[in-house]
Amino acid sequence: MIGLSGFDVARKLTILARQFEIPLSLEEVSANPLLPSELSAQFNRDWNKYDSYFEHLIVNAKRQGQVLRYVATLNSQGQANVQLKAFPATHAFANLNPADNVVQFKTSRYRDNPLIVQEPGAGLEVTAAGLYADLLKMSRSLLGWLGKIMPIAP
């Protein structure tokens, strides 16, 4: 039930926040479970009984031209949450490969066209290492680009 509780997604968000030196603890992430509490206790035993619950969510999203994704959000004030959200079919989160992780950065620079990083997400080490490696590459690239405009003293 860890995946359905939001714990795994919350843990990934905490790792990423710490890489940005945001002192976020796992306990500070508000995780809304994928299943309502009244369903989660019975889900493993009677999972097929709850097809209609998910079918209703999926049909409503499709009617609006959207797909459902279980996502984590961290804002500039350090507020973090995990919840099921609907996204338009054109959104980067809508077209994931199975087991992929996608991170979207909205900043003052990337406000209208967010920066997207997509990595395989098979396990804690792969996720953390992949995202961290990409962040290092981006920072090196940015420093190189800034150095061309404004030389950086050693």
12-62 pLDDT, tens digit each: 788 777 777 778 888 888 777 776 666 666 655 666 667 778 888 889 999
Give the whole-angstrom CA distance, residue 83 versus residue 56. 17
Q: Under CATH, to which class is 1-90 assigned?
A: alpha beta
pLDDT given at position 143: 62
- d(CA 73, CA 69) in angstroms, rounded, equals 12
Six token digits for residue 134: 């990409």
In the chain, ranges of CATH 3.30.360.10 domains: 1-90
- Token digits for 110? 């990337």
Half-sphere exposure of 54 (CA within 13 A, CB side): 16
3-state secondary structure of 80: strand
**12 has catalytic annotation:** yes
87 has a pLDDT exceeding 80? yes
Instruction: Quote the pLDDT of residue 41.
Output: 60
User: Which residue type, as a one-letter code, is found at position 52?
Assistant: S
**Alpha helix ranges (H) inside the chain:** 2-5, 7-19, 37-46, 51-63, 124-149
Active-site hit among 12, 106, 137, 148: 12
| Residues 104 and 114: beta-carbon distance below 8 Å | yes
State the average pLDDT over residues 100-117.
82
